[in-house]
Amino acid sequence: MKVRVDDGLCQGRAMCILACPELFDLSDEDGHASVRQADVPRELEAKIEQAVRGCPEGAIQTY
């Protein structure tokens, strides 16, 4: 599983950082999210799925 943040949709709601602090960072500029790495370790897949379901803007995608 891989994960990415669509920066056109992300508004910095920060729910992803609650779901999976291991893989997301929030920008010091505007609070928008980015992923530290696209590859999702197996043990974090459930957390990433929560991040996808928890983003109000629908900005997090797995592929």
b/e per residue 19-52 (b: at least 16 CB within 10 A): bbeebbebeeeeebbebeeeebeeebeebbbbbb
Site for other proteins in 25-44 (CB under 8 A): 26-31
Asked if 6 interacts with other proteins (CB under 8 A), we say no
Cβ pair 15, 55 in contact under 8 A: yes
Asked if 46 interacts with other proteins (CB under 8 A), we say no
Q: Residue 12 or residue 22: which is nearer to other proteins going by CB?
A: 12
Q: Provide the binding-site residues for other proteins, judged by CB under 8 A.
A: 9, 11-15, 18-19, 26-31, 50-51, 53-58
